[in-house]
Structure formats: structure tokens, C-alpha cells
Amino acid sequence: MSTAQVTIKDLARQLNISVSTVSRALRNAPDINPGTKNAVLKLAAELSYEPNVMAQGLVKKKTKIIGVVVPAIHSNYFSDALSGMTEVANAYDYHLMFCQSNEDAGQEIRSIKKLLACHVDGLLISVSKDTKNTAEFEKVKQLGVPVVMFDRTLPDFTCSKVIVDEYEGAFKAVEHLIRKGCKRIAHLAGPVNASVSANRMKGYIDALAKYGLPVNDKLILRCNAFEEDALPAIKKIIASRPMPDGIFFINDLSAISAIQYMQKKGINVPGDIKVAGFNDDPVSAVIQPSLTTVMQPSYEVGKLAIGILIDAILKPESPEQTISLRTKLVIRDSTK
């Protein structure tokens, strides 16, 4: 509090002009003498005047703040998306306010309320894995605050959405396994209530179907949480007879942990069993054998999502759209 913030009034007083003239000079308004405008701009720079965004927000009813809610920032996917968002936000002079739902629908609602209280101009949301109720989102919409959902969306709620085509990613991965000669392909699926699990599972099933391979329920196992405790499921898969010759994993970490386990058991990857993951974690390029996996364009997802949102903020009547980005199959040694 030592140095008080310099205001538009200070500038007006020092230049012996009115506040409205100063205000006009500061934005690029008409009805202002270029001379006085320059004088104001000069003094403003000298005193390093910064407009008070709260005062501006109060009268303009815009904060230039965008609220972001993700299930967990601790995730390559979401942190990449967030990076993309910051880039675009900087370019358009928007600010990002950030909340985390911890995969909890209640916390998610509290976060949204919190952001709404801050009068964010728009909302960027990736819903938690057991969010079902759309009531809160409808309220946001009624308030006139535009919403864009990314990655994890809510089918029952209509708004602009940016997603990645996980179905196609899974399909491509399994198709790749098939083309490499696998005939008996297992799948380690994710938590049952996450939409990602269902999408990837469907890709797995449809790929099998396309190539006339049977879908065997015994070859489909689940882990209850992401990145955790996939080992029991893996052991079960390995133990099944006849042994599978390929496995498609819900994510890279479980794939890696499986590869390590199989190597210990004397099973050769990719010789005996070929393995594909999902996510393209940094470590996947580094392990031995390097892991074939599905890369998601999460950075792009973030950029696109915030781009659409800013459009919607600037012109509220712009139509809602759903954009689906394609994954990229990264082929490495684990399917050689």
C-alpha cells in the first residue's frame, strides 16, 4: 500500500483536463484532439498507469476472465490443454481462472458457482467422470454465460464441444494390432462410468468386428481407477489360456506396467504379445520396448476450445458447434 494506484483522475488533474477526456484518450475513441491524446498517453506511460479492471468490469459488465474447470490438473492431458488455453488467452488479452473438481461432481458445482461469482465472461469445462446432472449447466446458460466443454462432455447438455475421437483412436490401435497378425486381442478397460472407457472399448470391439474376430468377454478386464492398480487385471489376462497375442490398454501407464510384468515372466513383447497403449506419455518413447500408443492432440483441444468460447463471448449469437479432433497412432517397438 505504499504507492497508491494511479488513477484516471490523477492524470486528469495533472493535465488540467477532465476525466472523460482522459478516458477518451486511453481507449481509441473519436472526438479527441490528437495533441491532447498524445499528452495523456505520454503521462500515462510515465506514471505507468494501469486501468482498474474492476471498475471497467463494473460498468462494462465484462471481466475478460475465463473460468476453467478440469477434473485433475495432474494429468498430461489436462495440463497440455491448459497450456494451449493460456497461449490463446494471452493473445486475446483474456485471463484464466482455474478450478479443479477432483473427479467430484459436488466440487465441480461449487467451482462453477465460485467462477460465476467472479463474473467470468465464459466457462471452459471438462466434466468429472460421474457428473450426470445438467441442471447447474443449464443455469449457467440461462445467466447468459457461454460454455464450451472439452474432452469430457455431457451428452444431455447442448453447447459447443471440442472432443478427440477416442473411438477412432482405439479403432486404429486395435486395427494396427490385427494387421500385425494378432488374432486374440485383450483389452484393459477403464472405470465403468467414464465416457472415455466406453468410447475406447467401442473402438476395440468394432475393430475386432471389422476383421471378423470374435469378441471374447473373458479378454476384457477393467481397472477401477486410472493409473492405478492395473496389475491384478493384467495378471488375469496373461493367465488366460490360450494366451492373448495382443493387448490394447486404456492408458500408457498400465501398458508399461504390464510390459514390465510380462518381461519378468519371460513373455516377449512384442514377440509373444504385442501391446498398444493410449496417451503417448513422455516415458513411452523411452522404455524398452518403446510403446505403440495413441497420441491425443490435447494442446490443440485447449486452443480450439478457448477460441470457440471467445468467439461466443464476442458475438453471443454465434452458433454452437462440436469439433472432433483426430488422434495419431504412434507406432513403436511394442507392436513390431
Partner DNA sequence: CCAATTACCGGAAACGTTACCGGTAACGTT
Partner DNA sequence: AACGTTACCGGTAACGTTTCCGGTAATTGG
Give the footprint of a second copy on this chain (CB under 8 A): 1-3, 5, 50-55, 57-58, 63, 65, 72-76, 79-80, 82-83, 86, 90, 95-100, 110, 113-119, 142-144, 227, 253, 256-257, 260-261, 263-264, 281-283, 286-288, 316
- CA separation for the pair 29, 270 (Å, rounded): 67
Indicate which of a second copy, DNA, none lies near residue 32 (CB less than 5 to 8 Å, by partner kind): DNA
Based on the shown chain and the rule CB under 7 A, indicate whether residue 23 belongs to the binding site for DNA. Answer: yes
- CA separation for the pair 274, 141 (Å, rounded): 47
Q: How far is the CB of 119 from a second copy (least distance, A)?
A: 6
- CA separation for the pair 278, 168 (Å, rounded): 12
From residue 29 to residue 68, the character string flagging contacts with DNA as x (rule: CB under 7 A) and all else as - is: --xxxxxxx-----------xxxx--xx-xxxx-------
- CA separation for the pair 152, 237 (Å, rounded): 28
Residues 44, 75: contact at Cβ < 8 Å?
no
Residues 246, 336: contact at Cβ < 8 Å?
no
Cell of 40: 495523456
Q: How far is the CB of 61 from DNA (least distance, A)?
A: 7
Residues 6+ apart with CB under 8 A from 166: 196, 199, 200, 203, 278, 294, 296, 327
Residues 169, 278: contact at Cβ < 8 Å?
yes
Element (H, E) at 239: helix 231-239
Contacting residue, 2, 3, 16, 142, with DNA by CB under 7 A: 16
Q: How far is the CB of 55 from DNA (least distance, A)?
A: 3
Q: Is 325 helix (H, G, I), strand (E, B) or coil?
A: strand
Q: Is 48 helix (H, G, I), strand (E, B) or coil?
A: coil
- Of the pair 68, 163, the CB lying nearest a second copy is at 68
Q: How far is the CB of 65 from DNA (least distance, A)?
A: 16
Pairing of strands 293-295, 328-330: antiparallel
Stretch that binds DNA, among 16-24, 140-148, 152-160, 225-233 (CB under 7 A): 16-24
Q: How far is the CB of 21 from DNA (least distance, A)?
A: 3
Cell of 97: 481462472
Q: How far is the CB of 191 from DNA (least distance, A)?
A: 41
- Of the pair 50, 320, the CB lying nearest DNA is at 50
Q: Which residues bind DNA (CB under 7 A)?
A: 4-5, 7-9, 16-21, 23-24, 26-27, 31-37, 49-52, 55-56, 58-61
